[in-house]
Amino acid sequence: MSLIFNPLQLNLTDFSILNAKPIYFNYNSVRIYLVGCGGTGSFLAPLLCRIANFLVEMRKRVHITFVDFDSVEAKNLWRQNFCSGELGFNKAQALAMRYKTIFPQLNITAIEQTVDQLILNGVIPTIVIGCVDNTNARQQIEKLLIDHVSLISHGQTYAPCWWLDCGNAYTHGQVAIGNWYSIEIEDYQLETATCLRLPLPSIQYPQLLIQSEEDEDVSCAEQVILNGQSLNINSQMAVIAAEMVHQLLNNQLKRMQIEIDLFRGSMKSTFINQENIDWIIERATINT
């Protein structure tokens, strides 16, 4: 297939990429938790396994854990990466069994519990990927990260933990990454060549922790039937999240937010530079 544009051509109206810094994540071992194995999570699972398979070939150690308490239902087959043969199975177990068969060399496990039962050991560098569809689950992920920040602040661990959050509505969504719980600008001063801290996704997007009344009891699977949610939004979100994980693990991730709109065919990145970080923290301070 021939290219119809130059992929190296930059958008010269956005100069923030020119002084963007990559997140430092150069480790031989990594643990990845995929929390939520429904709409976005079920499509993200195979992409994470392919990334892990590549890293294992490069002599790195990767442990992937799928986390979900829910079971596969008929309504999930509309927009999630499951088949009729998996009906009734726990979602995390179904994905773990499937991809352990495809990638037998990978360390893949499943946790059939809610996220509040998850405990980070603080020993191995960790990425927590949230693909949840309710406020309570995000609050529990935020608590995990806050507890981890406390361990680092008190010198009880030096292993980093990053939270990558995926959220979407009908045809649009966003992915954000962060690892620190603070609204003090001085906590986010960039190093000369790298980034060590970014505000948590819940600081970048405070609305993530605010449940609207209309969505309180409606899951994403039900939204696709009731509101015509795009059948493709979750797979698109998964691709974006997977690329951010891949870049993170290769010390190349210079974006802290990516927003997409399938209806308009648009994508917007917020790059990691001091100006963008300061703006996010100032906005969070005002809204506190």
- Taking only the tens place, the pLDDT of each residue in 54-71 is 999 999 999 999 999 999
When comparing pLDDT for 264 and 216, which is higher?
A: 264
Residue 150 pLDDT exceeds 60: yes
Provide the edge-to-edge strand list for the sheet that holds 255-261: 107-111, 61-67, 29-35, 126-130, 161-168, 172-178, 255-261, 266-271
Instruction: Give dist(CA 274, CA 197) in Å, integer.
Output: 11
Q: Are 96 and 109 in contact (CB under 8 A)?
A: yes
Burial class (CB within 10 angstroms; exposed 0-12, middle 13-18, buried 19+) of 265: exposed
What is residue 42's predicted lDDT score, i.e. its pLDDT? Answer: 98
Q: How confident is the model at residue 226 (pLDDT cuts 50, 70, 90)?
A: very low
- What does pTM read for this prediction? 0.91
Q: Domains plus CATH for the chain?
A: 20-287 (3.40.50.720)
When comparing pLDDT for 280 and 210, which is higher?
A: 280
Percent with pLDDT over 70 in the chain: 89
Tell me what the pLDDT averaged over the chain comes to: 91
When comparing pLDDT for 221 and 144, which is higher?
A: 144
Tens-place pLDDT, residues 156-181: 999 999 999 999 988 999 999 999 99
Instruction: Give dist(CA 31, CA 232) in Å, integer.
Output: 28
Tens-place pLDDT, residues 101-125: 999 999 999 999 999 889 888 899 9
What is residue 221's predicted lDDT score, i.e. its pLDDT? Answer: 56
